[in-house]
Structure 1
Amino acid sequence: MTRAEECPEEFDPTRLLTPRAREVLEAARTLLERDGWAALTMRALADELGIAAPSLYKHFASKDALKSQLVAVGLKDFGEALRPVTSVAALVRRYREVAGANPELYRLATHGPLDRDALPPGLEDWSGSPFFEATGEPYRAQALWAAVHGMVILELDGRFPTGSAPKATWDELANHFS
């Protein structure tokens, strides 16, 4: 596996956070992966940190603000993990691995409306650019991402007959876009 490339500083969603806000965000991410978004309440987060719930609002104005920050961190992490791009097959394999290792963050970052105004400018494009690098064509890149995303969601939901897509199905997807 190749070493991930770091997100450019201007796209890093945590660069302006205080150390305590970063600690809150990390605890939120832990709760998210353990219990899911619906169970991640400000009270549960405060309990996890051993603080009073109102204290959280010093760092994040609302649960929606926390969600936007988690989505931005997810986009950053996924973008870093997919670099450098060496082939469509490697990109597809790595995307599947990263989403499977962080299923709740993946769902949060890719499901429902995206508050683009809450993201660091350029982060979304940077995060998705490995698909363009792999295909060399913007619509082909979008089609590849849509196909990989669909398979990841089906796999996370156990919707393939065996619970996960067989290697042959993933290989066929990569071959189709190579």
Structure 2
Amino acid sequence: MTCPEELDPTRLLTPRAREVLAAARAVLERQGWEALTMRTLADELDIAAPSLYKHFASKEALRGQLAALALKEFGEAVRPVTTVAALVRRYRDVATAHPQLYRLSTSGPLDRAALPPGLEDWSGSPFLEATGDPHRAQALWAAVHGMVVLELDGRFPTGAAPEATWRELVRHFS
């Protein structure tokens, strides 16, 4: 399901700012947040670094846009909600397909003022739809998030997230 237009973080960006955002995402996914500098981004776009500031005031402003974009894409990826199992599978798939974007948007402080009002709630609402209770929804998201991070970090003893553990998580919340 597509994100409502009024929540789309890119709707007010100029075409050039969207191009900068796409290039920033490409560098992020290839090299990680620490490697993404305004200089590396300018090199990616083959432009002078100072011209980036016409579109984004700072690297942190760019981070806010990337986090908002992630919330939009993750929210779209898990809809429509049919079952807890389908929600968890889709969430896991999109997070592991875009690990750097996932980490950027789900770890550390979130600049909520940089998000379109309502985007964070819209993005997380599938967890509420699946569980029917706001606290249970947060618990499910926290469990799924923790499992995704363990999987991304290779922290399960087998080196990969055991499917039996994912099934148990789903069973517990279904």
Using the size of structure 1 for normalisation, the TM-score is 0.97
Are residues 1:134 and 2:134 paired? no
Considering only aligned residues, what root-mean-square deviation do their CA atoms show, in Å? 0.4
**Aligned match of 2:76:** 80
1:55 counterpart residue number? 51
Q: What is the total number of aligned residue pairs between the two structures?
A: 174
Residues 1:93 and 2:85 are matched in the alignment = no
Residue in 2 that maps onto 1:154: 150
- Alpha-carbon displacement from aligned partner over 1:131-154 (angstroms, at most 9, x marks no partner): 000000000000000000000000
Q: Percent identity?
A: 80
Alpha-carbon distance in structure 1 between the residues aligned to 2:173 and 2:161 = 17
- Return the offset for 1:78: 0.1
Query: Separation in 2 of the partners of 1:176 and 1:72?
Result: 30
Which among 34, 38, 42 is matched to residue 38 of structure 2? Answer: 42
SS of the equivalent of 1:57 reads helix
- SS across alignment from 1:37: coil
**How far has the Cα of 1:88 moved from its partner?**
0.2
* In structure 1, C-alpha distance between the alignment counterparts of 2:60 and 2:84, rounded to whole Å: 34
* Separation of aligned partners in 2, 1:131 and 1:59: 34
Q: 2:122, 2:58 → 1: CA distance?
A: 26
Shift of 1:162: 1.3
SS at 1:161 equivalent: coil
Shift of 1:163: 1.5
**Of 105, 108, 112, the match for 2:108:** 112
Structure 1 residue 165: Cα displacement: 1.1
Helix, strand or coil: the match of 2:54? Answer: coil
| Counterpart-to-counterpart distance in 1, 2:37 and 2:88 | 33
The alignment partner of 1:32 has SS state of helix
Amino acid paired to 1:75: L
Q: Which amino acid aligns with 1:153?
A: V
Structure 1 runs of 4+ aligned residues shifted over 3 Å read: none
2:7 counterpart of 1:24: no
Query: Structure 1: any 5+ residue segments left out of the alignment?
Result: none
1:167 Cα offset (Å): 1.0
- Name which of 62, 65, 77 aligns with 1:69: 65
Q: Secondary structure at the match of 2:12?
A: coil
User: Partners of 1:127 and 1:164 in 2: how far apart?
Assistant: 27
Read off the aligned partner of 1:164 and give its amino acid letter. A
**2-side partners of 1:61 and 1:164: how far apart?**
40
Q: Could you tell me how far apart the structure 2 residues matched to 1:28 and 1:81 are?
A: 21
